[in-house]
A = this chain, B = another copy of it.
Amino acid sequence: MKHVAIALLGCGTVGKGVVDLLSRNGQLIEEQLETHISIKRILIRDLPKYEQMDLPDTIALTTDFNDIINDDEIEIVVEVMGSADFAKECIEQCFKRGKSVVSANKDLIADYGIPLLKLSQENNVDFQFEASVAGGIPVIRPMYSSLNSNRIERIIGIMNGTTNYILTNMTERGLSYETALKEAQEKGYAEADPTNDVSGYDAARKIAILATLGFHSAVTFRDVSVEGIEKITHEDIEHASEMGYAVKLLAIAQQNDDGISLNVHPAFIPRSHPLANVGGAYNAVYVRGNCVGDVMFYGQGAGAFPTASAVVSDVMNVILHFNLTVTGKRKYVWHDTKLTDPRSIRAPYYLRMIVDNAPGVLSSISGIFAENRISIRSLIQKDETKEIAEIVILIDASADGLVRDSLKKVTSLSCVRRVANAIRVIEI
């Protein structure tokens, strides 16, 4: 039996998951690879903390990365630490020392994926990161090895468990945003500081990674226009339900005539669409290929075992490449990338505003939309009090910039107290 020694950098949720998965499914994995995998070393920071952990005796804990990089027996390094700068440095050193790397680090890959892939190729090693997008769901490898006969036209993902948990529970149980967020934190879905999730940055990193591979476009996290779910209220969710929509935080990468667009924002999706039914902590990635049509990948986007499933499958692929002596041979193609101006992207919008309950208000507001040639599909006014009314407007597909400009003008009307929300409607 052949034998491959690997090291882990980090032993938190995912790292411990990898240890446990290999002990649970080791025999099955060995049989497929005709190779035994052993975890030889794990890098951590705090020895006493991890000495108490239930880890096999055969694993040596270390706080010194040199113990790993200088160990020639270690052929694969699994980076599951999550920090950006230090992780990058470690991975670069691994490549230079001929070690292949598997990483789950979306923050790093969304920023430095392409330079790292190039460095791995220069050093003839493998670099794989299936777990960085949508946790356990196979999506990166299916995209490049099964949908590769297609021009990928669009990718829509629900890829953040925290926000999906919040929105699902606001919808199904009528919770307020604040209560749903607090519950997500108590249940361990959301971090103490939830900004990264609720503001859409986490989803933005994942869509940047998918677009890089699916569109063959060298984009990064910074190319994504991002809007979070913080402004979504119970009222918005209720209006959506009444109109037959679900509210989801979507990450959308799209090929347009003049370039590609990358967006993260909340959206109304028709209730009958498969994405509308992706609930709780589940993730889904919906891909349109020019020949295959619409394909969806669905499953658990986080958690120790699901994420470890993707990490270990990457390790298995690296080992298959060792055994076939084709390590570092994967070719990547990247085209020049032009980004579409986000303001030019068209969608129908749901608009909710709080106004004075007085005659003439509707005509002032609709006048502004008419001036900008934005056509109104429906308009409902609900009296809140004698003085205040709520107006809900659905407008036909219009350019984002035009909608924003019109809303600025609407806001400046003296009869308009505030524009509470403007949410895109995705008609798929």
> A residues near B, CB below 8 A?
21, 24-25, 28-29, 31-32, 34, 130, 136-138, 141-142, 145-151, 272, 274, 277-279, 289-300, 303, 305-306, 308-310, 312-313, 315-317, 324, 326, 329, 331, 333
| Neighbouring B residues of A28 by C-beta, 8 Å | 151
25 contacts between A and B (CB under 8 A): A136-B293, A138-B295, A141-B145, A142-B142, A145-B313, A145-B317, A148-B313, A149-B309, A149-B310, A149-B316, A272-B279, A274-B278, A292-B299, A292-B300, A292-B305, A292-B310, A293-B300, A293-B303, A293-B306, A294-B299, A295-B300, A296-B297, A296-B298, A297-B297, A298-B298
Measured CB to CB, the closest approach of chain B to A149, in angstroms, equals 4
| Neighbouring B residues of A136 by C-beta, 8 Å | 291-293, 295
Which residue of chain B has the shortest Cβ distance to A140 in the bound complex? Answer: B146
| Neighbouring B residues of A291 by C-beta, 8 Å | 21, 24-25, 136, 305-306, 308-309
Contact B149 A21 (CB under 8 A): yes
Contact B32 A148 (CB under 8 A): yes
Q: Which of A146, A290, A324 has the most CB of B within 10 A?
A: A146
Contact A295 B146 (CB under 8 A): no
Q: A28–B147 Cα gap in the complex (Å)? A: 12
Among B34, B141, B296, which residue has its beta carbon within 8 angstroms of that of A146? B141
Q: A317–B137 Cα gap in the complex (Å)? A: 21
Known contacts A298-B296, A306-B291, A309-B292; A138/B146 CB under 8 A: yes
Q: A149–B21 Cα gap in the complex (Å)? A: 8
Q: A150–B312 Cα gap in the complex (Å)? A: 9
Contact B292 A147 (CB under 8 A): no
Q: A137–B274 Cα gap in the complex (Å)? A: 15
Q: A403–B296 Cα gap in the complex (Å)? A: 37
| Neighbouring B residues of A313 by C-beta, 8 Å | 145-149
| Neighbouring B residues of A295 by C-beta, 8 Å | 136-138, 297-300
Known contacts A292-B306, A300-B294, A310-B146; A333/B25 CB under 8 A: no
Q: A137–B147 Cα gap in the complex (Å)? A: 9
Among B21, B290, B296, B326, which residue has its beta carbon within 8 angstroms of that of A299? B296
Contact B299 A149 (CB under 8 A): no
Q: Which of A21, A294, A297, A303 has the most CB of B within 10 A?
A: A297
Q: A313–B151 Cα gap in the complex (Å)? A: 12
Q: A146–B310 Cα gap in the complex (Å)? A: 7
| Neighbouring B residues of A272 by C-beta, 8 Å | 277, 279
Known: A274-B298, A324-B324. 13 other contacts (CB 8 A): A25-B149, A137-B295, A138-B142, A138-B147, A141-B146, A145-B145, A148-B313, A272-B277, A274-B274, A274-B278, A292-B309, A297-B298, A298-B298
Q: A147–B141 Cα gap in the complex (Å)? A: 11
Q: A136–B306 Cα gap in the complex (Å)? A: 25
Known contacts A274-B298, A297-B297; A150/B331 CB under 8 A: no
| Neighbouring B residues of A130 by C-beta, 8 Å | 146
Measured CB to CB, the closest approach of chain B to A254, in angstroms, equals 17
Contact B312 A149 (CB under 8 A): yes
Measured CB to CB, the closest approach of chain B to A17, in angstroms, equals 8
Q: A16–B270 Cα gap in the complex (Å)? A: 35
List the 6 closest A-B pairs by CB distance, nearest first: A138-B146, A295-B299, A149-B312, A292-B309, A296-B298, A136-B292
Measured CB to CB, the closest approach of chain B to A412, in angstroms, equals 44
Q: Which of A291, A299, A313 has the most CB of B within 10 A?
A: A291
Measured CB to CB, the closest approach of chain B to A386, in angstroms, equals 42
Measured CB to CB, the closest approach of chain B to A80, in angstroms, equals 15
| Neighbouring B residues of A293 by C-beta, 8 Å | 136, 299-300, 303, 305-306
Contact B294 A331 (CB under 8 A): no
Q: Which of A34, A290, A313, A316 has the most CB of B within 10 A?
A: A313
| Neighbouring B residues of A331 by C-beta, 8 Å | 32, 34
Which residue of chain B has the shortest Cβ distance to A300 in the bound complex? Answer: B293
